[in-house]
Amino acid sequence: MKQAIFFISVSLIIMSSCTIQKKQADLIVHNAKVYTVDDAFAIQQAFAVKDGKFVAVGTDKAILGNYDSENIIDADGKSVYPGFIDAHCHFYGYGCNLLKRADLVGTKSFEEVVERLKEHYQKNPSEWIEGRGWDQNDWEIKDFPTKELLDEAFPDNPVYLTRIDGHAAVANSVALKRAGITAETKIAGGDVFVSNGEPTGILIDNAMDLISDIIPQSNEEFDRNALMAAEKNCFPVGLTSIHDAGLSKETVDLIDIMHKEGSLKMRIYAMLSPSENNLNSYVKNGPYTTERLTVQSIKLFADGALGSRGAKMIEPYSDDPDNSGLFMHEPDYYKNICAKAIEHNFQVNTHAIGDEANRFILNLYAEYLNGINDRRWRIEHAQIIHLDDFKLFGEYSIIPSVQPTHATSDMYWAEDRVGAERIEGAYAYQQLLDQNDWLPLGTDFPVENINPLYTFYAAIARKDLKGWPEEGFQINNALSREDALRGMTIWAAKAAFEEDVKGSIEAGKFADFVILDEDIMISEIEIVPNVKVIATFSGGEQVFKSE
């Protein structure tokens, strides 16, 4: 069996009669096709690991000739890549979902949502009933749902269900009442939908906080379990580092503790939510770095999302002529935080979807960045860019941080929202890459699947998992395989100021790598989403191995 060769065996290689003293390594991998993702994109055969880092990368002859180890892996010619990095996700939130929220992804109607909730409630009875992942665009009736069916099924419990993008929610009457939401409720940067003089149950963006703020807080034990549950699913898909887009000081502190005690191994680039507590602690103290944690950025929201028409557009929506979306905050709010970030050497990473939101943030950043620079301030998603504005990314070294599976999830309805002209500047990944010549890639999970191979496939094929559309969605903006791999490794590391310690297989870097069953750089692109991870290593330690 092919798999059998991967178990780590005690080396029987005995030093030959020659007198070369071999150096001792903790691990050697050889007979591999190693995509180093170094500057030259060199392919090698072998490497040695010592104290959690690569110490040498080269030919089989060079590595086996110079190093010895009790752990030698013959990779049987399989392809090896730097550990994958997700440059934008919600790792902790995903873990929370796994533990307590009903999974509503893929529901085909609101009736099915209610059925899934009932099943969830039977298995996990709790006062608050939470769910996440519904998307009315997947339903036959594509209108937002309303509270009535929820009231019927759950007359006594508060129910709160967030949309797939996290930018809209539907609540039942009990939840609305507890939050004090009425038809008169007005909230800046948010919306409470009203019909016939009462709230329909739909809350957009900042209005969602009225309910999420009153849901009982989790405790430390829950948070620990959530982080471990997320990690348990992420290692098997080859992720060894993630950027979490929006964490509190408490969660970051807990991650740091868990890293130090060894109960959590995922390397985490923590983007801080802009709370007073975060600003007065981590931000004030300046960047914080350990081997597994970096805290050096603030996550902001400029606008909402396209699916819920909260994305801020220059002109109104093509399918909703009275609506052009919303900004989450006043300009001064963003200015204050940008000034603090400059003062304390922090990066600013702002969610911007609509063309007006992107234009606003590009121009705002420009005021602080003064031309070409190395602050690496990012725009998360950079989803719809006015054709005149692309150049600002390059002129001010502003880094777009994009999620290729968003393109293939939204392609069915995105043009309805923005029309034939504006769609040209949407999900324009190659055009964005051209601005700075590097582009970090992520998924935004749990908005999308956690699997980085879906990202790779979507970036290159620009098709859904069923192979639609045949010619690819706006295929002129497809990335090359080499660039897609860089986006998931070295460029994602660079987006976190970590390119000197991770993101490629080079001597001196953390020995984070993944062995795949197929070579995704040359295989048919259609098979990539189903390629199996054979093993994942973090700091030279095997953290996942396929059965």
**Segment lying near Zn ion (by CB under 5 A), choices 1-9, 238-246, 371-379, 401-409:** 238-246
Other CB atoms within a 10 A radius of the CB of residue 363 amount to 12
Round to whole Å and give the CA distance between 441 and 444. 10
CB nearer Zn ion, residue 54 or residue 301:
301
Candidate ranges 73-81, 409-417, 436-444, 531-539; the one touching Zn ion (CB under 5 A): 436-444
Torsion angle of the four alpha carbons 519, 525, 526, 529, in this order, in degrees rounded to the nearest 10: 60
Please report how close the Cβ of residue 406 comes to Zn ion at its closest, in angstroms.
10
Q: How far is the CB of 371 from Zn ion (least distance, A)?
A: 29
Count residues binding Zn ion (CB under 5 A).
2
Residues facing residue 303 across a β-bridge:
327
Smallest distance from Zn ion to CB 447, Å: 6
303 binds Zn ion (CB under 5 A): no
- Return the C-alpha torsion angle 383, 387, 393, 394, nearest 10: 140
Asked whether the beta carbons of 467 and 526 are under 8 A apart, the reply is yes
Cβ proximity to Zn ion, 6 vs 445, nearer residue: 445
Cβ closest to Zn ion, residue 68 vs residue 444: 444
Cβ at position 299, least distance to Zn ion in Å: 8
Smallest gap, in angstroms, from Cβ of residue 117 to Zn ion?
24
Q: Which residues contact 300 (CB under 8 A, 6 or more apart)?
A: 274, 334, 337, 348, 349, 350, 351
Nearer to Zn ion, 448 or 506 (CB): 448
**Interaction of residue 444 with Zn ion, rule CB under 5 A:** yes
- Is residue 306 near Zn ion by the rule CB under 5 A? no
CA angle at 347 for the pair 275 and 259, rounded to the nearest 5°: 75
Using the minimum distance from each CB to Zn ion, give the nearer residue, 231 or 444: 444
Distance CA 219, CA 525 (A): 44
CB of 96 to Zn ion, least distance (A): 14
Q: Any idea how long the chain is? A: 547
Give the residue, chosen from 245, 252, 357, 520, that forms a contact with Zn ion under the rule CB under 5 A. 245
Nearer to Zn ion, 159 or 352 (CB): 352
Q: Are 350 and 308 in contact (CB under 8 A)?
A: no
In the bound state with Zn ion, the residue whose beta carbon lies nearer, of 245 and 302, is 245
Give the x-and-dash track for 197-216 against Zn ion (CB under 5 A). Answer: --------------------
**Span interacting with Zn ion, options 399-407, 439-447, 478-486, 494-502, rule CB under 5 A:** 439-447
Residue whose entry in the numeric block shows the structure tokens 């996550």: 299
Q: How far is the CB of 91 from Zn ion (least distance, A)?
A: 11
Segment near Zn ion (CB under 5 A); pick from 8-16, 206-214, 239-247, 368-376? 239-247
- Residue 282 carries which DSSP code? I
Residue placing its CB nearer to Zn ion in the complex, 247 or 511: 247
Query: Which one of 34-42, 65-73, 242-250, 524-532 is the stretch in contact with Zn ion (CB under 5 A)?
Result: 242-250
Query: Is 119 exposed, middle or buried (CB count within 10 Å of its CB: 0-12, 13-18, 19+)?
Result: exposed
3-class SS shares of the chain: helix, strand, coil, % to 5: 35, 25, 40
Q: How far is the CB of 252 from Zn ion (least distance, A)?
A: 17
Q: Which of 37, 247 has the CB closer to Zn ion? A: 247
Which pair of tokens denotes residue 449?
Answer: 């699947």
Residues from 113 through 142 that contact Zn ion (CB under 5 A) = none
Distance separating alpha carbons of residues 454 and 448, to the nearest angstrom = 9
- Shortest Å, Cβ 226 to Zn ion: 17
Cα separation, 163 vs 378, whole angstroms: 25
Nearer to Zn ion, 81 or 94 (CB): 94
For helices 220-234 and 91-100, what crossing angle results, to 10°?
Answer: 110
Would you say 130 or 444 has its CB closer to Zn ion?
444
Pairing assessment for the beta strands 159-163 and 168-171 based on DSSP bridges: antiparallel
Task: Give the 3-state secondary structure of residue 473.
Answer: coil
Q: Which stretch binds Zn ion (CB under 5 A): 131-139, 328-336, 437-445, 520-528?
A: 437-445
For Zn ion, give the closer residue by CB, 245 or 516. 245
Quote the least distance from Cβ 454 to Zn ion, whole Å: 16
For 500, the token pair is 């000197």
Torsion of CA 477, 482, 487, 490, to 10 degrees: -160
* From 23-31, 428-436, 442-450, 484-492, span contacting Zn ion (CB under 5 A): 442-450
Query: In whole angstroms, how far apart are CA 437 and each of 85, 232, 241, 429?
Result: 18, 34, 22, 11
Q: How far is the CB of 167 from Zn ion (least distance, A)?
A: 10
**Which of positions 154-183 make contact with Zn ion (CB under 5 A)?**
none
Give the pair of three-digit tokens for residue 25.
């390594």
CB of 245 to Zn ion, least distance (A): 4
Contacts for 314 with CB less than 8 Å, ≥ 6 apart: 324, 354, 355, 356, 359, 386
User: Which residues form the interface with Zn ion (CB under 5 A)?
Assistant: 245, 444
